[in-house]
Amino acid sequence: MQRDHRRKAPVEVNFFTEYGEGSRYRIEEVIGKGSYGIVCSAFDTHAGEKVAIKKINDIFEHVSDATRILREVKLLRILRHPDIVEIKHILLPPSRREFRDIYVVFELMESDLHQVIKANDDLTPEHYQFFLYQLLRGLKYIHTANVFHRDLKPKNILANADCKLKICDFGLARVAFNDTPTAIFWTDYVATRWYRAPELCGSFFSKYTPAIDIWSIGCIFAEVLTGKPLFPGKNVVHQLDLMTDLLGTPAAEAIARVRNEKARRYLSCMRKKRPVPFSQKFPHVDPPALRLLERMLAFEPKDRPTAEEALADPYFRSLAKVDREPFAKPVTKMEFEFERRRLTKEDVRELIYQEILEYHPKILKTLEGTDSMGFMYPSAVDQFKKQFAYLEEHYGNGVTVAPLERQHASLPRPCVFYPDNNVSVAQNQAGVTDNLSKCCIKEIEKPQPDRNCGIPMTRVPIQVPHRAQGAATSKPGKTVGSVPRYNNCMTAEAYEQRMMAKNPAALGHLYPRRNVSCKSDRGENEGIEGSNPVQPKPPQYIARKVAAAKGGAGNWY
């Protein structure tokens, strides 16, 4: 078997755009291009092996194309078998919600079966047998997972110079979730016409089985034997004509079982044809190979063998060991829940990102427990909902527990202090759910310069008064904010900001004098953790200060 010598093409300079992991791969040559993107051979400097990197451009331009890519990467992650191509890695996009391209790293295969058939006219019967054995072994694994490939053809069979074959391209594959697969998901394009089963050409039956893939394997095997396609139909009608030229006109009983009225009428009106003996069509092929080929190309699906039955055929007596051939567990409905609903572009983007994370276990582990459709770091609203739900659940059971802490270091952590210095920390934590009105939230202390005094100040704990809580409970739906500290310096700053927002020209003539009382703020606030929180000034005091400010007084005290 000759090696496929592909013409080298210049490598694009910007193959990896913003993907940091791209530095791990050394691009060597372009080995394929198409409407989907580009495929390059590369050397993985970490693993020390050659790989194929498939760059898919603008995958979210059409939701149907993005769904096909999602289906393929998901199935190739689930179906791990020596006769199925393996995804080794998928590069992590720089942005979870804005990426458009993906880079899928496959094991490098040298060619495909189409090129092998075209370039090699010296294949031996041993080649034929080994090729078919690998295809049926891989197909057995796929079918035991309740997956139908639906697009088997020589170009979707990768090959190496050592005669190793691997099935690829699962973009049109579907999963059946019951024992009798129905036609609900067969309404779109399936299989290249030359390798399409008769029931798919004429919609003969309302229910399809894995026999559609067996027919495709039979067509591929016949092409390996002769070096040219078996049924190269120009359209569906011509395709049926070529099939019946070899297999003969279907029997009346078979035509009667065809559900499609037009297809049944066409087959009934077709002129009677006698089947051509396979020994005449393939004169130089071993009889055991022809007998198995004839079984796989039966017109009725029920007459075709399963992949497991085909492996047990006498043709593989010296090669196959059916008991040792691996089989897969059926794919669960949860894995392909997206097939049952209409997806938006953002839905598919998130699902593809989740698949990419499967190849980044460390990042996936850090994100466990977060909402799959949420942000990388959950918002504060989501965290507050979890905290309140946690408190309500345990409070209803009569259990006193501390509230949940935030999970991510990038988010600020709240500090809870209590005004009662005589109570221990453990007692304070135990009493969180008993009386939430006694606690106050204190942010991390950061020195802040005071514009009036020029002396750095420290934020003071904010205490929620009982009256504000009572007002909130008496008027449902009303939001009650926390009460600020009403000492002289902070009142001046806050009032100035409010006046500037309301009327920027109103404060043009106000120049507050230096407040002597600010000199002691630094010393008083440094020990705030060991003292009681500062109480707000009485309402009458605040009213007098506001009235004085409205009167145009230059003093703020």
Amino acid at 97: R
Distance (Å, rounded) from C-alpha 403 to C-alpha 516?
A: 42
As beta bridge partners, residue 462 has 441
Q: What is the CA radius of gyration of the chain?
A: 37
58 is catalytic: no
Q: Look at the alpha carbons of 341, 344, 345, 348 in this order and tell me if their dihedral is positive or negative.
A: negative
Distance (Å, rounded) from C-alpha 36 to C-alpha 72?
A: 14
Distance (Å, rounded) from C-alpha 95 to C-alpha 78?
A: 25
Burial (CB < 10 A; 0-12, 13-18, 19+), residue 266, is middle
Please give the full DSSP string across 17-34, using - where no structure is assigned. SS-GGGGGEEEEEEEEE-
Of 80, 199, 84, 220, nearest in space to 139 by CA: 84
Token pair 């893939």: residue: 213
Please give the full DSSP string across 405-433, using - where no structure is assigned. PPS-TTSPPPEEE-S-TTS-HHHHHHTTT
Please give the full DSSP string across 120-148, using - where no structure is assigned. -S---HHHHHHHHHHHHHHHHHHHHTTEE
Of 110, 119, 228, nearest in space to 161 by CA: 110
Q: Which of 151, 169, 213, 313 is catalytic?
A: 151
Sequence-distant contacts of 278-281: CB under 8 A, at least 24 apart: 281/246
Amino acid at 231: F
Distance (Å, rounded) from C-alpha 365 to C-alpha 152?
A: 37
Q: Look at the alpha carbons of 207, 209, 215, 216 in this order and tell me if their dihedral is positive or negative.
A: positive
Of 308, 327, 309, 200, nearest in space to 258 by CA: 200
Cite the active site residues: 151
